Structure 1
Amino acid sequence: MNPPLISIQDLHKSYGDLDVLKGISLNVARGEVVVVIGASGSGKSTFLRCCNGLEAAQHGSIRICGQWLLKDGQDLCDKALNELRRQVGMVFQSFNLFPHMSILSNVAVGPRKILRYSKSESEAMAMQLLEKVGLVDKAHNYPGSLSGGQKQRVAIARALSMQPEVMLFDEPTSALDPQLVGEVLRVMKNLAQEGMTMMVVTHEMSFAREVADTLVVMAEGKIVESGPARAIFDNPQHESTQLLLQTL
């Protein structure tokens, strides 16, 4: 049996006296899509940010792509952390595009600066990724001329340009107008169908039901329920899950 691509054991995170994560453990297999849901303040975004070192947990272990991000509460050095982040792409609520660069340059800059691709190689890859997210025609536009949904699709293409083994999505549609949500979710569904390993924090329940292999429900810094997504949607066991699905 293959080892999990992501293994998280007994993760604890606090800010002063506030305990945000209280012993999170989760394994994610290669090619698996895990969707994390929970009420605001349940710790789900903090949990996701710990998985690429944007937040430092105080206790526990995280192993991703065969490398320890956190082991017995000890963080990676900066060099090792940067190396790991090449394998773990992340898409945020905000798009964080470079406003002074064209869309093509936004996607090509990572491979050119970090992976040492030539200008022509990085731009050829960027065009392939823009085609994947349906934005080839916007390659020479600037971010200011794009809708929110288009900007988020560029952000996904930029994350993919580093050829990651894992993609993390932190509420990728929460800042979008409702009519723009679908275009971003379609790109994410296609990635899932292609076998990308994904962890997604979202409130989009229809996406979770359709795409997730595993649904993880968090409440008050803990995982209160996890398992096959459709089974949990059809028959939630924990009171927090029942309440959450009733309100969303």
Structure 2
Amino acid sequence: MNKIKDILTASLIGVMLLGVNTLSHSDQLTPLSDTDLAQVNGQAGVDLNLKLSLNHTVDYKFDSSVCSSSQLEYCRLAIALNNRYDDGSNDTYNNGVRVPSATGKNQWLVFKGIQGTVLIDKLALDGADVTFKSKSGTDSYRGALNFSFDPNLPIKIRNFGFQSLSIETDTAVASSTSNQEGFLSNTKYNQTTDNAFDKYNPDTGVAREKGFLGVSMNGNLSLGGNIKVFSCIDHSRC
């Protein structure tokens, strides 16, 4: 048995030495051009099935177990733009450039009660060739990622949107150099005194969060065609 192992070991070492010797005497390796790569054909590809869901139950309803009625402020999307705040009295200036104060009150665009599910039954991914005119006017070739959709399998959009939209402002906190973030404001309509016709929210079981707009989308989106993604080199728009 040991003799057989010795023979196999010697054979393996011989093959490795032969490979090293072959590499050491091979011609210099050269990179392939885009034209060369464009001549390579393949059959491989993949079909993706995607489900994108946020704050939803399996039947596409607002998930109150994730977004509890006492913590609705954590189920939001908030956007703050640079230098957009309501109090600049504490700002300083450095060579004419304004330096925002840490105590400035930021303003936020807040999408409250954000939710939705998007179902993509088929997103095909494979390779493709792209031909375009270079800056010098000659034909150029690029390998590209090709994303395509099947119009017979529409994208399903279920209860996608938000329950209210508002602009919120940070509030000053006494004896502190920072502010309470406006996007955490939990103000709601008063179901007794406020004049809002939809002040009660059946999705959460409590008064509706204050805002001036709500959106809910349901439908099927049928797409055809494809999207090619490739490196932008020597193109007129690069």
- Whose radius of gyration is greater, 1 or 2? 2
Name the structure with the higher helix share. Answer: 1
Q: Greater RCO between the two (CA within 8 Å, min separation 6)?
A: 1
> TM-score, normalization: structure 1?
0.19
